[in-house]
Amino acid sequence: MLVSAKVLNIESANQITFYVNGLKHYNFVYNPVNDVFSSSIILDEGQNMIEVRAVNNAGQAIDSKLINYIKIIPPVVTIETPSTCHEKHK
């Protein structure tokens, strides 16, 4: 899943901390030209908490989202009859 956020009033990525399910992640990009933070993450099945924090000399800001991920399993079809065989037709 791609996570993206606008992060304003900071100068660099070292002013951002990013958490997924309480674990700090370092695999993100921050573009100071357009103020966009982005990261690709793999969600666990069930509830996932995503949190982005930013800090500057004036304070900090935090935003978080709770995502309920339900894994969807595609259908499987197996033809059982007729079985694989070669018949000769006259």
Mind listing the pLDDT tens digit of every residue in the chain (90 residues)?
999 999 999 999 999 999 999 999 999 999 999 999 999 999 999 999 999 999 999 999 999 999 999 999 999 999 988 877 666 666
Residue from 8, 2, 51, 52 nearest 31 by CA: 8
Assigned domain for 27 exists? yes
Assigned domain for 12 exists? yes
Assigned domain for 8 exists? yes
Stated pTM of the model: 0.79
Quote the domain boundaries for residue 52.
2-69
Bridge partners for 19 per DSSP? 24, 51
Q: Determine the length of the chain.
A: 90
CATH number of 6's domain = 2.60.40.10
Please compute, for residue 47, the number of CA atoms within 13 A of its CA located in the half-sphere on the CB side: 5
Q: How far is CA 37 from CA 3, 9, 75, in A?
A: 8, 13, 36
Q: What is the pLDDT of residue 49?
A: 98
Q: What is the pLDDT of residue 63?
A: 98
Domain count for the chain, please give it.
1
Assigned domain for 28 exists? yes
Q: What is the pLDDT of residue 38?
A: 98
